[in-house]
Amino acid sequence: MKRVLLLFFMFVWTFQPFVHALSWAYSFVVWKGHVYEVTVEEVTDIGKMIGQVKTQADNRTGDYWGDASNVYPVGTKYYEIKGTPTKLAIAVEVEPNRYLKAVYKHRSPHYWKEVALKIGFGLVIVAIVFIVVRLKIKRS
């Protein structure tokens, strides 16, 4: 009986699904290839809207690309702070009319998705130009 229980527990332990999730060091947003740490400092002197969260960071792998965030949902808007260069800090709208300061930390890593999108877009443009030129040659 002891062997059956031992085998049962070994089987259950071996085939148990493992769930892995990252614990982020800080809340961040990415804008134009720059990572900004979102602080608790509220900002009131808001300038124009400069961008928004477009993708979420992956909580299992830690990967992110484009204008992303690990905490804030897609659609969260970024604003410039009057009198502060965007290379130093931006404002993140965390609630309607409530903005937190996000300070520049480092450049964002580049991922294959960014390059693939640019190459794909370029290939589509080349294909369209090629088709238009071919059609003009046939009509002549």
Q: What is the pLDDT of residue 31?
A: 87
Task: Report DSSP letters for the chain, one per residue.
Answer: -HHHHHHHHHHHHHTPPP------SS-EEEETTEEEEEEEEEE--EEEEEEE--EEPPTTT----SSEESSSPTT-EEEEETTS-TTTEEEEEEETTEEEEEEEEEEPPP-HHHHHHHHHHHHHHHHHHHHHHHHHHHH-
Largest CA-CA distance found in the chain, in angstroms, rounded:
89
Q: What is the pLDDT of residue 22?
A: 54
Q: What is the pLDDT of residue 126?
A: 87
* pTM summary value: 0.62
Whether 27 contacts 72, CB under 8 Å: yes
List, for the chain, all residue ranges whose pLDDT scores fall below the cut of 50: 19-20
